[in-house]
Amino acid sequence: MDSSPVTALVPPTRIRTVGDASMRPDGQYVLYWMTAYRRGQANFSLQRAVEWCRELNKPLLILEGLQSDYPWASDRLHRFVIQGMVDNARHFSGHTVTYYPYVESEPGAGRGLLRTLVSSACVVVGDDFPCFFLPRMVSAVAARTPVRMELVDSNGLLPMRTAPKVFSRAFDFRRFLQRELLPHLAERPQTDPLADIALPTTTVRADILQRWPAVVLDDADQDTRWLSKLPIDHQVHSVPSQGGSVEANRRLESFVTQKLTRYGDDRNQPDKPATSGLSAYLHFGHLSAHTIFDRVTREVAWSPDQVSPKVTGSQTGWWGAAASVEGFLDQLTTWRELGFNMCWQRTDFDQFDSLPDWAIQTLETHTEDPRDFSYDLEQFEQAATHDPLWNAAQRELVRDGHMHNYLRMLWGKKILEWTESPRVALDVMIHLNNKYALDGRNPNSYSGIFWVLGRYDRAWGPERPIFGKIRYMSSANTARKLKLKQYLAKYGPLQQQSLLDPAPR
DNA sequence: ATCGGCTCGCGCAA
DNA sequence: TGCGCGAAGCCGAT
């Protein structure tokens, strides 16, 4: 793929104008409001903002903000994002742009900042992310923005707008991609849209900086101290995983060179994991799916002419690559983009009633079935069930901010089995995942959670209590299938310490 | 270890 | 209208 030319312009299908205000040529700068693609590289939003700068000969101001009052805001999520800001500050300092990282010090403190910056802008470019509170926030801003505002889709390899409907099965979406994806693979974002160009410069006014001080990133290593003053959840402590584009690229490199060939066999093996560990970086936009795709295909010298002319929707054989590579690309394309397809098409993607009819029907038939075990949210959260394997998976989530690939399915199936109703089970899954997982609050998190309840799946027999025709999973079989000795030891109960205390450093 | 049966909605060819 | 097929299932038989 590397040899094909990079698209000169951001594809129009990735851009939508919101509101009806016009561009103001007498503004002082172009404003890029960075909310989802928190990176300087391979970012169509940034690239679009630069297009405007060049057309108008105006400076570029980039606002990367972090509110403190969004749901589940915590030390863990804040620290990851702020580490990303450190990388971005370093990256943008080598370019003729003004980068303005802002972290809200108390709820509502940031109110007015965006409006103030917009009032001097020619045009505003924002990120078109279809999940969590971002769509609502962005439309609220768009409704009262006095200048032209564009949202750019830099989420994935397929522009969200090109899928004409919701796909209810991976197989159908995969078949669609096999027909449609190739041309879009050629329309890649520029690696560095600011390379080799000199834009006019601007500064943020002193009175603005005084009221909304840019976050000081020099002492990011000490950030635990100033994070503790923010009105966020300090019980959800930060984790060793470092956020930001630098670490994201380091992980990508290590995955491609060390693990990719084993991906097919070992991705579910806890003791010698062959996973990429990139989902949190994708979620916060520290890394682009295009960058991952380019790096993987370069490593294995794949080119589009290896693609099979036969479109079947089958998982294997279409890419014309080794099984491990096809498996990983299927994750990156079919499964990742399937979640974006759902969130883009349906605003009720996080509601129980968005499940397929057969799943709702069978779950409701069995809602009154007696439960052998029933736990409330706190018992789940404290990993206080009777099942050591489930508790270990929950502790991994709470302590490290992620959960093992295969166990997260079992984790969800058991929550369904051990709560009073499927709707409550859904609430528990969403809450725990969004609160503790670095990659939560993302379309793919919702895919995983809803898969537990039947989305993208099919009915299975025999019909069982509670589950009905929903696919069942058991801890005993999982323990038989995976080597879990080290995992169980690592995530066993702590002796003295409460689960929610900060991890020892 | 590897199998067949369980069981069914969906898209597409016919 | 019928057919093929599906993210990771389980269970019992060989």
Distance A341 CA to B7 C1' (A): 28
Mean pLDDT (chain A) is: 93
For residue A459, give the nucleotide whose C1' atom is nearest its CA.
B8
Pull the structure tokens for residue A432: 């725990």
- Give strand C nucleotides closer than 7 A to any protein Cβ: 5-11
Q: What is the pLDDT of residue A227?
A: 87
Distance A474 CA to C11 C1' (A): 12
Q: What is the pLDDT of residue A270?
A: 78
Q: How far apart are CA A5 and CA A406, in angstroms?
A: 39
Return the percentage of chain A with pLDDT > 70, whole number.
Answer: 95
Tens of pLDDT along A79-90? 999 999 999 999
Q: What is the pLDDT of residue A315?
A: 87
Q: How far apart are CA A15 and CA A331, in angstroms?
A: 25
Q: What is the pLDDT of residue A1?
A: 44
Q: What is the pLDDT of residue A217?
A: 82
Query: Closest residue to B6 by CA to C1' distance?
Result: A461
For residue A481, give the nucleotide whose C1' atom is nearest its CA.
C8
Q: Is the dihedral of CA A231, A235, A236, A241 positive or negative?
A: positive
Pull the structure tokens for residue A30: 């172009």
Overall average pLDDT of the A63-69 stretch: 96
Distance A400 CA to B5 C1' (A): 40
Distance A171 CA to C5 C1' (A): 9
Q: How far apart are CA A262 and CA A272, in angstroms?
A: 10
Q: How far apart are the first and last CA of chain A?
A: 43
Contact criterion met (CB below 8 Å) for A286 and A244: yes
- Give strand B nucleotides closer than 7 A to any protein Cβ: 6-12
For residue A460, give the nucleotide whose C1' atom is nearest its CA.
B7
Overall average pLDDT of the A229-234 stretch: 94
Distance A460 CA to B4 C1' (A): 15
Q: How far apart are CA A85 and CA A101, in angstroms?
A: 7
For residue A268, give the nucleotide whose C1' atom is nearest its CA.
C8
Per-residue pLDDT at A501 exceeds 80: no
For residue A359, give the nucleotide whose C1' atom is nearest its CA.
B9
Per-residue pLDDT at A388 exceeds 70: yes
